[in-house]
């Protein structure tokens, strides 16, 4: 497993990161512990969680995922595992309308409450990477960055990052950090996959020039790129199956955003490319993601152990120029046609 640095920080991680948002809901505690153990055996030392997990979040379940990760972390040498978590803001554990609409209230008080809660649930005295889950661009950037800088100076956090952010937010935060001599963001965690390459428009260039690392989430497009939703299939236990069957309007809209006629067409074409290359489509999707120069570690997620092997197979894998060209042709023809 290749190791890469997060931005210009002192944090070095495996090229694949195990996401945990299913732990405590789709994935029970025993299965979650086995998944984390098997990940370590495969060479993964980087785990990403959040105070709002599991997903879909609720006030009753909030924090369950961090607690599961914390129980597991207690059984490992602390320095051998890299832990990333995220602050939602004033919600502290579950979604509220303010957070959904970019008003996360990321000030010193709420950051202090959130970090103490995460440290307690994770049963550790420091977090390797602490991330803003949703930015609040209506706030003064220095109010958030000063509070995060204090955590770094106190030794509670090693590095900081943002998530679900845009070009304005990242550049505003970096400019403010430089101007006020505060700790800079070393990472950004955004959606990036074969079916969603919007990050390449502007944010990729920011990452390259400012030495900020992308931690792409949903590299398998929520499972869509495995082909399991093709031809109208709704497999039992799959997240988007649950969203379509029993979810509210917001969850159904999310499922439709990930899986629609255009993404189904591109997915089938990508699956054909993977078959031609002799690899699993999931393996190809993860390998493609981590092959970008602005990516430090690709965040994967599973709900059961059976989904691990094609992900592990992507470790160290470099796709050929022919495969990359074929992928680009599908993107240009179906997802991002010109003219």
DSSP string, 155-203: TSEEEEEEES--HHHHHHHHHHHHHHT-PPEEEEE-B-BTTB-GGGTTH
* pTM (predicted TM-score): 0.95
Please count the CA atoms within 13 angstroms of the CA of 252 that sit on its side-chain side: 6
Structure tokens that stand for 286 in this block: 């993860």
Whether the Cβ atoms of residue 122 and residue 143 lie closer than 8 Å to each other:
no
The residue among 21 and 99 whose pLDDT is bigger is: 21
% of the chain residues with pLDDT over 70: 97
In this prediction, residue 338 has a pLDDT band, given cuts at 50, 70 and 90, of low
125-162 exposure pattern, b = at least 16 Cβ within 10 A, e = fewer: eebbbbbbbbbbeebebeebbbbbbbbbeeebbbbbbb
Q: What average pLDDT does this structure show over 266-294?
A: 98
Structure tokens that stand for 333 in this block: 């023809």
How many Å apart are CA 286 and CA 290, to the nearest integer?
6
Query: Helix and strand tally (H, E) in the chain?
Result: 13, 10
Point out the catalytic residue in the list 53, 130, 185, 243. 53
Q: What average pLDDT does this structure show over 92-118?
A: 84
The residue among 321 and 91 whose pLDDT is bigger is: 321
| pLDDT tens by residue, 114-144 | 999 999 999 999 999 999 999 999 999 999 9
pLDDT computed for residue 62 by the predictor = 87
Q: Tell the residue number behind the tokens 């992308």, with chain if given.
A: 214
pLDDT computed for residue 330 by the predictor = 96
Nearest CA to 130 among 27, 218, 215? Answer: 215
In this prediction, residue 55 has a pLDDT band, given cuts at 50, 70 and 90, of confident
pLDDT computed for residue 94 by the predictor = 67
Active site residue 126: no
E strand or H helix that includes residue 12: strand 12-14
Nearest CA to 288 among 232, 242, 326? Answer: 326
**CA 206 remoteness from chain centre:** 18
Q: Show the domains of the chain with their CATH numbers.
A: 3-189 (3.20.20.100)
Nearest CA to 123 among 189, 75, 89, 56? Answer: 75
Q: What average pLDDT does this structure show over 62-66?
A: 94
Q: Tell the residue number behind the tokens 């790129």, with chain if given.
A: 225
In this prediction, residue 56 has a pLDDT band, given cuts at 50, 70 and 90, of confident
């Amino acid at each position: 497993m290749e190791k890469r640095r997060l931005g210009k920080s002192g944090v070095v991680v495996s090229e694949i990161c195990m996401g945990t948002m299913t732990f405590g809901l789709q994935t029970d505690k025993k299965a979650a512990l086995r998944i984390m153990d098997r990940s370590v055996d495969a060479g993964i030392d980087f785990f990403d969680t959040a105070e709002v997990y599991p997903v879909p979040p609720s006030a009753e379940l909030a924090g369950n995922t961090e607690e599961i990760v914390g129980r597991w972390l207690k059984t490992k040498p602390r320095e051998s595992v890299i832990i990333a978590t995220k602050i939602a803001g004033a919600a502290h554990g579950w979604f509220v309308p303010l957070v959904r609409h970019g008003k996360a209230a990321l000030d010193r008080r709420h950051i202090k409450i959130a970090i103490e809660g995460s440290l307690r649930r994770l049963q550790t005295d420091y977090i390797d990477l602490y991330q803003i889950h949703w930015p609040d661009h209506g706030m003064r950037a220095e109010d958030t960055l000063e509070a995060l800088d204090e955590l770094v100076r106190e030794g509670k956090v090693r590095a900081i990052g943002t998530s679900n952010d845009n070009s304005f937010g990242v550049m505003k935060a970096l400019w403010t950090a430089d101007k006020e001599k505060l700790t800079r963001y070393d990472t950004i965690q955004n959606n990036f996959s074969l079916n969603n390459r919007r990050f390449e428009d502007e944010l990729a260039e920011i990452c390259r020039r400012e030495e900020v690392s992308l931690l792409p989430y949903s590299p398998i497009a929520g499972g869509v790129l495995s082909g399991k939703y093709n031809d109208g299939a709704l497999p039992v236990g799959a997240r988007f199956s649950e969203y379509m069957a029993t979810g509210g309007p917001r969850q159904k809209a999310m499922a439709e955003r990930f899986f629609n006629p255009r993404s189904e067409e591109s997915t089938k074409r990508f699956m054909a490319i993977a078959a031609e290359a002799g690899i699993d489509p999931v393996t190809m999707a993860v390998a493609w993601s981590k092959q970008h120069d602005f990516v430090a570690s690709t965040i994967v997620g599973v709900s059961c152990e059976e989904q691990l092997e094609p992900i592990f197979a992507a470790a160290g894998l470099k796709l050929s120029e022919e495969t990359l060209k074929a992928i680009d042709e599908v993107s240009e023809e179906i997802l991002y046609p010109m003219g």
